[in-house]
Amino acid sequence: MNGAESLVRTALAAGVDLCLANPGTTEMQLVAALDSVPGMRAVLGLFEGVCTGAADGYARMTGRPAITLTHLGPGFANGIANLHNARRARTPIVNWIGDHATWHLAADAPLTSDIASLASPVSTWVHTTRDAKSLAADGASAIAAALAPPGGVASLIIPQDCTWDDAPGAAKPVAVPAPASVDDARIAAAADVLGGGNATALFLGGAALREDALRIAERIAAATGCALIHETFFARIERGAGRPVVDRLPYFPEQGAERLQSLCELVCVGAREPVAFFGYPDHPSRLADDATNVSTLAEPEEDIAAALEALAERVNAPKQVDRPTPERVGPASGTLTVGALGQTLAAIQPEGAIVVDEGATSGLAWFALSAAAPAHDCLSLTGGAIGQGLPTAVGAAVACPDRKVIAFQADGSGMYTLQSLWTMARESLDVTVVIASNRAYRILQAELGRAGIFEPGPKAASLTDLTHPELDWVSLAKGMGVPGVAVDTAEGFAEAFRRAVAEPGPSLIEAVTS
Amino acid sequence: MNGAESLVRTALAAGVDLCLANPGTTEMQLVAALDSVPGMRAVLGLFEGVCTGAADGYARMTGRPAITLTHLGPGFANGIANLHNARRARTPIVNWIGDHATWHLAADAPLTSDIASLASPVSTWVHTTRDAKSLAADGASAIAAALAPPGGVASLIIPQDCTWDDAPGAAKPVAVPAPASVDDARIAAAADVLGGGNATALFLGGAALREDALRIAERIAAATGCALIHETFFARIERGAGRPVVDRLPYFPEQGAERLQSLCELVCVGAREPVAFFGYPDHPSRLADDATNVSTLAEPEEDIAAALEALAERVNAPKQVDRPTPERVGPASGTLTVGALGQTLAAIQPEGAIVVDEGATSGLAWFALSAAAPAHDCLSLTGGAIGQGLPTAVGAAVACPDRKVIAFQADGSGMYTLQSLWTMARESLDVTVVIASNRAYRILQAELGRAGIFEPGPKAASLTDLTHPELDWVSLAKGMGVPGVAVDTAEGFAEAFRRAVAEPGPSLIEAVTS
């Protein structure tokens, strides 16, 4: 067998069986190996950011890495933005990046570049394979590196001769360590802090946002009176009716700081201490002020559920918590404001949906109102690199074919990776895309005001405006084989959304908000 | 004034007055400065690769750098692929990359990343500004670095506090050295080589492909009998009726080597020694074999026209060369093959057109047939990072509003940066987009065969196929405000192309080839 076949066999042996690909010439042996070695699903993206974002969404839902297959430095570079988001989500992903044959690099052919320099900022592990005999073992190491707690991006650079030369065979999976246990001292310290009679909160992120962990946190809150707050931007949260309700830390630093300022103690669980998303002249980086003591129960790479359970025992938490059933909102009527859009979406979204929220300013109302919607997962934009929503929806839909995926997508952000729609159509993915179409970079219009520019000049206005021409998302979707409809009233949205949810397969609703 | 204003004033003082922007929060002061300091044109791209590719096209046509304005590491990363092409084209470009405030970096907020590591592989100059007082001087240095012969990409990383803090004022332009002269010894050596009575060729690239330099090369050829061959992929060539005819070095290494193998001497002028685009198991990196002596008259960064003129004098070249007038092809009829498409395009393209050729396999026929078309410029894909054509057409059209730009674009490549169409519409750019729609990654289908895979399995077939669903470029264009039409006969294409050429403003023709 050749190196390419040894690598594909190695991945399959480790349980990795999805390849999100945008290959070129240097990857042809790897492409051929996807046929000659049975078992790996191959999904084509027409832009690399679709592949990397889909790998993120897939692993957020399955816990297993997918392979991304990209073409040398520039091809890989097109996937960096969504790998940045994946890095912040601590998502396991394995990149196979084709490169020139080892002996061809010295020629400095047109596509030659420093791939390791490009890959390092988004990777926890970067390695260049030396020869075909090493490729399988490198492939196994990459998968283990991606899966090492808490999860990360592993980038394997593969010179093409390593794929076409003979290789001895597949490599066995490399053992992955379990998340480290939190020691008793930290459990005891957290119990002391929470039992001290002060205003306290658990700050939850990462694996602490899964239902099992949240139920333990809720029991701790019942016993100690601590508040439960979660990261503003999270990889995945299990929420909705029947599940614990947790406060989201607000986005803008003044609001985030205000939420925290009454607290004497903030205990981080699977999350790092909250900081401002951006630095502003009049606000420090830290959101907690000096009066709040910040400590850590469990780091993201540690065994979070076990730490929470140990803490629950230590504070004599009740076995179960009675939680009032929140009342679900009904659909809105009339003008399609962002509030009406979010309300109607929350009112109609089906049980078990996976909502990929890149709604930006248009998504806030939905998030608040959907706490009482049927149980669902929400995936958010972890790294601030916009263009994550549609690709992540692709990956979530590949991961969970029996669940409805709702891509709640701001129009400006959606344009970065709109090629995702084509993959949705090709793979018949069950994704309802809701474009929140306000025809502006609304967040930037707000940021101009925050920068003291209350009457933007014509250039600033132009650079934050998406009219002239208006984007027509129904045509964009049609161009990629996805049926679409535009609506501009709450009733119109409700009808279109009900229909989209009832039918399997991809569709798009352009919700033009006022 | 604040740092942002000092930077914009500095750029204007150096004659840089175009900003291709996709800004975010960290760039808001720079955006505001585009209004408060008059004179800089601001053009919005909905994806960073549009901005960087447009900067490439603009500078290829004007010789002057444009500014690209992008948002931290992930935003910048979206522009890397086209900066890679610009690097290979030796195009002067200045990137202004916003970053977090200096004091906020330690917080490792979600968008923080190692921007310098991302920028280095595509930049000849990378610098991070330390404070607002330094920003203007850094900006002047960046422009000089971009313009230093032969031209390159300069990346200035700008922490946001450097834009909002007070600054003393603009910086004066930094002097840029002229291209170095080629010494007499090299001129004499080249004259000896060409006068030796052997089969010889000049291998032309970079500035040697401008009309003035080509006319000198043609005189040298008339005097010495040397052949004239140009780079396969070039930043810009001035060609067409009334201009010297030069052979293009074929793309595939066997054909490239065959073209060179009869030569005893190959003299490089503004080009590096030709190498294979990719390494293949059965072919060396070098295209010239050991029987061909390769030497250099002038490096890309040297004064190429002067070196050619000195060589012409040394070989007693005639002052003028009579050149037979090549016969222009007429439009094709019947089935719209890629040959018929290229022929018809060459038959109808107007005088003075700028043709941005990312036609890939569909572009070859046009290139051969258009040597006799009216004088035109052709810009090609220099770095192999596909998705260059539409953005470069944007930049060329901004640079040359009085000339018709023809974006001859393969469908697969076009999808990487299709957001360019929106900028064409917003800026009313005079671009006729011709999509060569073969609904496949045809080059990869050829490369599969070259890799010995003559009957691709279902996955290899799927990963190189763009049907299921078919892309509908007319709808994609409509979605971004560009009128379009699809044609599938030679006559239909001729009619649509004539109409598009006659009318100013952007339009798109989807040429579905058989």
Do residues B429 and B493 share a domain?
Answer: yes
Residue located via tokens 């474009």: A435
Do residues A140 and A202 share a domain?
Answer: no
For B117, which of A31, A117, A464 is closest by C-beta distance?
A117
Do residues A427 and A507 share a domain?
Answer: yes
Tell me if A176 is assigned to some domain.
no
Nearest CA in chain A to B30: A460
3-state SS assignment for residue A265 = strand
Confirm or reject contact between A425 and chain B (CB < 8 A): yes
Please answer yes or no on whether A466 and B46 come within 8 Å at the CB atom. Answer: yes
Tell me if A331 is assigned to some domain.
no
Confirm or reject contact between A10 and chain B (CB < 8 A): no
Q: Smallest CA–CA separation between A69 and chain B, in Å?
A: 11
Chain A positions touching B100 (Cβ under 8 A) are 278-279
User: Are A69 and A45 in contact, with CB atoms under 8 Å apart?
Assistant: no
* pTM, rounded to two decimals: 0.98
Which of B463, B464, B465, B512 best tests the A interface by mutation, with the highest count of A CBs <10 A?
Answer: B463
List Cα–Cα distances, A84 to A156, A166, A191, A378, B255, in angstroms: 16, 35, 35, 19, 41
pLDDT of residue A325: 82
Nearest CA in chain B to A477: B476
Do residues A368 and A432 share a domain?
Answer: yes
Do residues A108 and A34 share a domain?
Answer: yes
Question: Which CATH number characterizes residue A395's domain?
Answer: 3.40.50.970
User: Are B77 and B50 in contact, with CB atoms under 8 Å apart?
Assistant: no
SS3 per-residue string spanning B227-282:
EEEECCCCCCEEECCCCCCCEECCCCHHHHHHHHHCCCEEEEECCCCCECCCCECC
Confirm or reject contact between B80 and chain A (CB < 8 A): yes
Q: What is the residue type of B108? A: D
Nearest to B269 by CA among B222, B223, B216: B216
Chain B positions touching A29 (Cβ under 8 A) are 451
Domain termination residue (choose one: B136, B164, B192): B164
> To 10 degrees, the CA torsion angle through B487, B488, B492, B493?
70
* Distance, CA of A153 to CA of A119 (rounded, Å): 9
Domain termination residue (choose one: A314, A349, A368): A314
Point out which residues pair with A406 in neighbouring strands: A355, A432
Which of A278, A482, A508 best tests the B interface by mutation, with the highest count of B CBs <10 A?
Answer: A278
3-state SS assignment for residue A472 = coil
pLDDT tens sequence across A430-486? 999 999 999 988 899 999 998 888 899 999 999 999 999 999 999 999 999 999 999
Q: Which distant-in-sequence residues (6+ apart) come within 8 Å of A429 by Cβ?
A: A393, A394, A397, A398, A405, A423, A505, A506
Provide the 8-state DSSP code for A123.
Answer: -
User: What average pLDDT does range A396-400 have in this prediction?
Assistant: 98
ipTM above 0.90, yes or no: yes
Do residues A293 and A227 share a domain?
Answer: yes
pLDDT of residue A175: 97
Question: What ranges in A352-502 are assigned the alpha helix state H?
Answer: 364-369, 389-399, 411-414, 420-426, 442-450, 458-463, 473-479, 490-502
* Distance, CA of A102 to CA of A117 (rounded, Å): 17
User: Are B180 and B279 in contact, with CB atoms under 8 Å apart?
Assistant: no
Which of B2, B26, B27, B35 best tests the A interface by mutation, with the highest count of A CBs <10 A?
Answer: B35
Tell me if B170 is assigned to some domain.
no
Instruction: Write down the number of H helices and E strands in chain A.
Output: 21, 18
Do residues B381 and B266 share a domain?
Answer: no
Tell me if B128 is assigned to some domain.
yes
Tell me if A493 is assigned to some domain.
yes
Tell me if A500 is assigned to some domain.
yes
pLDDT of residue B287: 97
Nearest to A253 by CA among A227, A229, A281, A228: A281
Q: Report the Cα–Cα distance between both ends of chain A, in Å, rounded.
A: 60
- Regions of chain B with pLDDT less than 70: none
Question: Which CATH number characterizes residue B217's domain?
Answer: 3.40.50.1220
Confirm or reject contact between B150 and chain A (CB < 8 A): no
pLDDT of residue A187: 98
Do residues B142 and B189 share a domain?
Answer: no
The b/e string for A150-170 (b: 16+ C-beta within 10 A; e otherwise) is bbbbbbbbbbbbbbbbebeeb
pLDDT tens sequence across A283-337? 999 999 999 999 999 999 999 999 999 999 999 999 999 988 889 999 999 999 9
Point out which residues pair with A436 in neighbouring strands: A410, A511
Please answer yes or no on whether B473 and A479 come within 8 Å at the CB atom. Answer: yes
pLDDT of residue B326: 84
Please answer yes or no on whether B456 and A35 come within 8 Å at the CB atom. Answer: yes
For B384, which of A111, A118, A121 is closest by C-beta distance?
A111
Do residues A15 and A51 share a domain?
Answer: yes
Query: What's the domain count of chain B?
Result: 3
Nearest CA in chain B to A86: B110
Indicate if the pLDDT at residue A373 is higher than 90.
Answer: yes
Do residues B196 and B300 share a domain?
Answer: yes
* Distance, CA of B63 to CA of B84 (rounded, Å): 18
User: Are B471 and B460 in contact, with CB atoms under 8 Å apart?
Assistant: no
Tell me if B176 is assigned to some domain.
no
Please answer yes or no on whether A74 and B81 come within 8 Å at the CB atom. Answer: yes
Provide the 8-state DSSP code for A240.
Answer: S
pLDDT of residue B441: 87
Tell me if B330 is assigned to some domain.
no
Phi, psi of A454 (to 5 degrees): -90, -20
* Distance, CA of A359 to CA of A406 (rounded, Å): 11
Per the structure, the complete domain to which residue A391 belongs is given by 338-512
Nearest to B87 by CA among B118, B47, B116, B52: B52
Q: What is the residue type of B342? A: G
* Percentage of residues of chain A with pLDDT beyond 70: 100
Confirm or reject contact between A508 and chain B (CB < 8 A): no
3-state SS assignment for residue A171 = coil
* Distance, CA of A376 to CA of B237 (rounded, Å): 57
Nearest CA in chain A to B281: A161
Do residues A95 and A194 share a domain?
Answer: no
Q: Write out the DSSP string of A286-333.
A: BSS-TTSEEEEEE-TTB-HHHHHHHHHHHTT--S----PPPPPPPPP-
Q: Write out the DSSP string of B390-452.
A: HHHHHHHHHH-TTS-EEEEEEHHHHGGGTTHHHHHHHTT--EEEEEEE-SB-HHHHHHHHHTT
Residues 265-304 of A with CB under 8 A from B: 272, 275-279, 281, 285-286
Q: Smallest CA–CA separation between A387 and chain B, in Å?
A: 9
Confirm or reject contact between B463 and chain A (CB < 8 A): yes
pLDDT of residue B145: 98
Nearest CA in chain B to A453: B32
Q: Which distant-in-sequence residues (6+ apart) come within 8 Å of B306 by Cβ?
A: B181, B182
pLDDT of residue A274: 98
* Distance, CA of B410 to CA of B447 (rounded, Å): 17
* Distance, CA of A67 to CA of B62 (rounded, Å): 42
User: Are A238 and A214 in contact, with CB atoms under 8 Å apart?
Assistant: yes
Please answer yes or no on whether B457 and A32 come within 8 Å at the CB atom. Answer: yes
A176's tokens: 């992955």
Size of chain A, expressed as the number of residues it contains: 514
Kindly report the number of other CB atoms within 10 A of residue A216's CB atom.
23
* Distance, CA of B476 to CA of B496 (rounded, Å): 18
B273's tokens: 């020694």
User: Are A163 and A29 in contact, with CB atoms under 8 Å apart?
Assistant: yes
Do residues B467 and B371 share a domain?
Answer: yes
pLDDT of residue A486: 98
